[in-house]
Amino acid sequence: MFADTHCHLDFPDFDADRKRVIEQAFAEKICLIINPGTDLFSSKRACEIAREFDFVYAATGIHPHNAELVSDDVFYQCMKLVENNKVIAIGETGLDFFYQNSKKEDQIELFRKHIRFATKFDFPLIVHQREAENETIQIFESERHPSKVVFHCFSGDEKMLEWVMASGFYVSFTGIITFRNAANVRKLVEKVNPDRVFFETDAPYLAPHPYRGKRNEPRFVRFVVEEFARIKKLSTHEIAEITTQNAMKFFGIKI
């Protein structure tokens, strides 16, 4: 059984065939799908989709790209969605200094709000980080934070990985590890303990080889698991079992 711990089924890319995509994922042994929100509307939609399918869950949060557009009222409306019993985490949140669609100071302020809320109410936190390693570390070292933190779509450097592991956090890998030009990420795979790993598609983005360039789907997470197993010289079955149990325990899900 496989788990896709981060995908965006609420995005318009799935409007034409969302139900088929979810049912096909289940038919291909995907036993858990987590859909994090990226803004208030997205988080609400993620909740609606999660209510339709037993094995689909939601997270509520505001992506750093949208930080400039968020009032206190919008943030707290978003956080209020944790009252829905299918919401199992806060996120995705974090910092993205690669695109900088929002000002750095707005991203940092919003990130801190997410951390404080997740800490206060003891929710797992899903973190997006791109080219903001130092600032991310500084924020976590200056804030109380929840015990459960995962860095999704991990592509940081070795120093960042060492800090994440030393902090007791988790990392999640995507189809990037199957890309021919991603040798640097595969080197990180060599260094990480499978007990601290999840897998994800980040669908509709980052489809793994051999589907690269096409729309990604939750069922394609198996290709990420297979590549991780190949690098670690372990069986796909063993890695799938370990990492699916990691996700179940981390997010507090029983299936």
pLDDT at site 155: 82
Domain boundaries, position 7: 2-251
Residue 219 pLDDT class (50, 70, 90 cuts) = very high
Q: What is the CATH number of the domain that holds 12?
A: 3.20.20.140
93-110 tens-digit pLDDT? 999 999 989 999 999 999
pLDDT at site 69: 86
Q: How high does pLDDT run on average in the chain?
A: 97
Q: Does the pLDDT of residue 47 top 90, yes or no?
A: yes
Beta strands in the chain (DSSP E): 2-4, 30-36, 56-60, 87-96, 125-130, 149-151, 170-173, 197-199
Helix/strand/coil for 14: helix
113-136 tens-digit pLDDT? 999 999 999 999 999 999 999 999
Q: Does the pLDDT of residue 88 top 90, yes or no?
A: yes
CB 118 within 8 A of CB 146: yes
Q: What does the angle CA 215 – CA 89 – CA 17 come to, to the nearest 5 degrees?
A: 25
- Percent of the chain whose predicted confidence (pLDDT) is above 90: 98
200-210 tens-digit pLDDT? 999 999 999 99
Domain total in the chain: 1
DSSP 212: T
pLDDT at site 254: 83
CA 95 to CA 130: how far, in whole Å? 6
pTM score over 0.85: yes
Mean pLDDT of 153-174: 96
Q: Does the pLDDT of residue 255 top 80, yes or no?
A: no
pLDDT at site 80: 98
